[in-house]
Structure 1
């Protein structure tokens, strides 16, 4: 009996302790809630209109655009919003909105458990009030300080505003993608109607966008937006706000979108798109911050060069042509992108061909090959025959038979200097196979070609598709004597108070390529403009050479579907592509020349006011006058000669003697002198 009594007394002690602890917890929670209420009352209502538009600047400080395209904001009262919008939003964003005091504790706990199980953040727990607070508190930082401030703003909102006022504010400030803030702006933009007139199908589609505006925008990703709409409608069914039949009917309803929406795209819209993508993907600024965070983004764009690029497109490409084009120009030392055009009309097609399109570069790939050749024993005087032939590869299992343009061949020996200037395919593939196809792949990767490359004989002729920006980056390595360079679009980011949030400091440049071999290759690339290298055909830059007024190096390339021109001065690298989006064959000879003419006009315009510079010669390079037909040292008898650079120790030592007999043949004929005895005995 005493044992039982003891146990009862011991149990009662535990019960009293637990009750005491529970009472303390309850009192503590009540104190926290009371303190929060007092805080909210004392602090008063937070300001509701603190949004700041983010601004993009060119490198001269001029404004080129903002963080939205034609941003629209309209404030409508809750009564002016379709009940379908309210029901759909509450169902998918915060079903207990009218029951909690700004925080859904059960939802927070569930999200925490889900995150712990997944080992990452996979589920959100923010209420509508918290999201509204986040919209009002404009900080881009993902820190505990921001979360605390959001919590305090949430308390102040709940304390000082009614649920209807909070819901109204939320629906008028939430981001619906495409630069639209608030349900009224979204309704006008997507459907050309007021928020009050939205149907269940339209309302459920819009209610799904704020979770990820770019991902669920019906204009950008219609299929994703429909999947999200199904989630919204199912949530409404679960809340008994809809029948399954009504939800199915809304899902199947044919939606008519507003096709006449207009957007203010500003200067260089393709460039601005890349800046936005860089801000989000590389610098981790979210869409909300870009749209309302008041960022000041200082870009690398040069307005004068951008205007010159766009003007070259307008003046050279025929207006009635459907062909597309893209251009990118960058500083070969800093990597700063100075001008970029991703297509002929952003309004008609925002697809950015300068950074997204993957096309075959053709012969513009050859300088990378010839750099390898120079760095591995070839010289500008190295001769090989240009004649039709078939190459065997893959241990003799496969063959490849290249051909020259228009099937023109020297059927004789030509020098490497001529091969690059004339764009001889046979010479290129021979050199490629001698060096080994993997060598070209490795070097291309080192200088910025990240697209997949096949180590096959045809790679020498640019048959693996790449991006225009990759070719601009690769050629910049030639322009800066082989130093590493990366394209950049943003110089600096500050908040609206001038505090620096990011600054792109130029890293110490690493020497990637052999400096001397790079210089020799660059000089070989000037040959496309030099008629002294004409042979069985003419140099590929003959049509534009007369319009060029300073030293340039470059290479053109043509396939059945693509036309390229990539080249540089010591101050600027520019790549131009011409072609059709769907790979249609370019049949017009005029259209095939567009890339060269655009490149030449842009480069001349872009260099206006710049001093004329020559390419910087390393000490380990020597120059010699040679006969470009045979690569030997030129003599006074040679009718054709060119000054060519060599790696020190590889320059030719043998003089050309092909024209010595021509000199002898050219001497005036001397009459034969007859002797006296011939005169005497002649008949």
Structure 2
């Protein structure tokens, strides 16, 4: 037994000795590797400073329309002596409190970050020092890969071996991004406070020091409350690190912040459109801000500059300059989804809020075409009649009631056809149809054409009670214009990098989601809003602008107490206009309520200049009949206001209207005493 024990002890000592030797060897190898890296960094010398190249944005004809953040960029380099000491201390405290103690790497933070990455099997944790951030800003992208981190480490060593700490800090403060195109602390001080960098107070400096963590997220212009919360964190870190007292931090936090509210206007083409492009670049294509601002990309877009000018022109021409009312305009090619013009508000310099894509407003009756498509697919025809009269509807198994009214309190007090109901925008007919086919059918149709906004199965949905965006409505109407095929709105066609390589290219896709024949029947019904032949108990809703149009266009207006809409299309153009007040103020005056229609009509007519007067082509499965619009029955030639109407094959009326004969006599109906048979038959009377 004792012999066995001794053998075990000897074996254990041998293993321990080997482990110690191996550990010492690994340590020496690691130290040699680190020293070699530092030596390599020293031999390589200072890394060359890359000159940033501005990203350029082009329209559909490849004309330059803008540069990403370029107009606001001010890369004025200032020395450390010309930077507020409070800003320097605030930055060191929140970004890298041991900056002057380490050699480019904060080992304590780095160890914690590596441990967190290993535990989560990811590369999400960061321990970047100021030197590492400076290296990344100058030479690398922000992709979270091990190779990028290793390359970053080598650049960090080269910076640390060849520049002093003050030089590195100075370079960092002159290149870090503070949002709104302001690169470097001098540009940021000018942009936010109209001051030089050495004039910043502790309150201002602590606010600015918090922005680089998320320039858009912590911008005081975007969200002042959030920026103040971040400032509080910065001030507390300064207290913890001994830069200021708690009392000084409290005073700085409560000191008034006087931001510069008026900046020099930027001469940007289609600024709302360009903002939408930048949003797609960052949020959908995941191109980081550094690459956008200095990557030298060429971004080719769908913008039709000529069409854009026309949209902006008619907004200015139609709306009273003294009015506070706002507007949004979208023009889109329904064949491929290309957004060709966009107006997000009346004055970008006063408000950069893009109402074309960000605002959610109730579309009113402009939502009815989705209902009437569903109705056509569920047994209705253009000649289907329902009574238009004050009605209280009961739903939800008799538990709820809904009593809509027609505009102005006008009703037919009798039957009207679907064709006339759409043209006059009769609300009673719409709700009756909605309940008749099942309220889920409208929601299903809206979803098919790409409307993703929340929609409820309620009676008022037939009248457009649920908020949607202007872009969503344009997308929905594009399916009607495109023969029932859904396309996705897009702004960017191609992106080319500095090397001339195409790194992104858009390939339009169509998906047939609606029945072609039913879609065409609906589109022709929607031309009726401009046709006085469909006048009834009131005029057709497009009567006030019909004289402006020379092209055959389908359309629908919509209104609520706070919103006015007009949307229309041809097979080559969808145009949508919204007018209203940002805070939901009621549209009470006649000019306000008529702005949307006038802007839409003038813009659409000018945008269609040079195109065929009628580009609608009937597909298979539809038939055309001459119909009496009063009752939806067949009419002979000469019948007053007789109108050609399209029907799904097999659903056209087969009964003739007798109204024509009563009003105009037999010469306008089936003419008697004409032809040999009739003359011969006449002698027997």
TM-score normalised per structure 1: 0.94
1:6-405 counterparts in 2 under 5 A? Answer: 12-68=13-69, 69-117=71-119, 123-139=125-141, 141-264=143-266, 266-405=268-407
Q: Match for residue 673 of structure 1?
A: none
Q: Match for residue 681 of structure 1?
A: none
Query: How far did 1:224 drift?
Result: 1.4
Distance 1:474 1:253, change over 3 A: same
1:564 and 2:565 aligned: yes
Q: Match for residue 574 of structure 2?
A: 573
Distance 1:116 1:143, change over 3 A: closer
Q: Match for residue 672 of structure 2?
A: none
Instruction: Give CA deviations for 1:455-487 in whole Å, capped at 9, x if unaligned.
Output: 111111111111111110000000001001111
Q: Match for residue 500 of structure 1?
A: 502
Match of 1:491 among 490, 493, 514: 493
1 CA distance for matches of 2:409 and 2:185?
63
Distance 1:234 1:21, change over 3 A: farther
Does the residue aligned with 2:41 lie in a helix, a strand or coil?
helix
Distance 1:98 1:186, change over 3 A: same
Distance 1:6 1:251, change over 3 A: farther
Does the residue aligned with 1:216 lie in a helix, a strand or coil?
coil
Query: How far did 1:439 drift?
Result: 0.9
Query: How far did 1:4 drift?
Result: 9.0
2 CA distance for matches of 1:91 and 1:134?
20
Does the residue aligned with 1:180 lie in a helix, a strand or coil?
coil
Aligned-residue Cα RMSD (Å) equals 2.1
Which deviates more, 214-223 or 30-39?
Answer: 30-39
1 CA distance for matches of 2:597 and 2:371?
21
Query: How far did 1:148 drift?
Result: 3.4
Query: How far did 1:253 drift?
Result: 2.0
2 CA distance for matches of 1:366 and 1:4?
93
2 CA distance for matches of 1:241 and 1:637?
93
Query: How far did 1:565 drift?
Result: 0.1
In structure 1, the gaps of 5 or more residues are 668-683
1:610 and 2:602 aligned: no
Query: How far did 1:236 drift?
Result: 1.9
Q: Match for residue 553 of structure 2?
A: 552
TM-score normalised per structure 2: 0.93
Query: How far did 1:10 drift?
Result: 5.3
1:543 and 2:537 aligned: no
Match of 2:437 among 430, 435, 438: 435
Query: How far did 1:636 drift?
Result: 3.8
Query: How far did 1:520 drift?
Result: 0.2
CA contact (8 A) 1:139 1:293 kept: no
CA contact (8 A) 2:635 2:660 kept: no
Q: Match for residue 640 of structure 2?
A: 639
Does the residue aligned with 2:353 lie in a helix, a strand or coil?
coil
Q: Match for residue 513 of structure 1?
A: 514
1 CA distance for matches of 2:402 and 2:597?
29
1 CA distance for matches of 2:665 and 2:38?
111
2 CA distance for matches of 1:363 and 1:259?
39
CA contact (8 A) 2:493 2:505 kept: yes
1 CA distance for matches of 2:166 and 2:46?
15
Distance 1:622 1:3, change over 3 A: closer
Query: How far did 1:368 drift?
Result: 0.6
CA contact (8 A) 2:50 2:139 kept: no
Distance 1:119 1:429, change over 3 A: farther
2 CA distance for matches of 1:246 and 1:2?
75
Q: Match for residue 471 of structure 1?
A: 473
CA contact (8 A) 2:551 2:612 kept: no
Does the residue aligned with 2:601 lie in a helix, a strand or coil?
helix
1 CA distance for matches of 2:247 and 2:451?
54
Query: How far did 1:114 drift?
Result: 3.0
Query: How far did 1:11 drift?
Result: 5.8
Does the residue aligned with 2:623 lie in a helix, a strand or coil?
strand
Query: How far did 1:510 drift?
Result: 1.6
Distance 1:551 1:370, change over 3 A: same
Instruction: Give CA deviations for 1:520-560 in whole Å, capped at 9, x if unaligned.
Output: 00000000111111111111111111111111000011111
- The number of aligned residues is 666
CA contact (8 A) 1:41 1:159 kept: yes
CA contact (8 A) 1:70 1:265 kept: no
CA contact (8 A) 1:481 1:515 kept: yes
2 CA distance for matches of 1:514 and 1:635?
30
1:590 and 2:591 aligned: yes
Which deviates more, 21-30 or 359-368?
Answer: 21-30
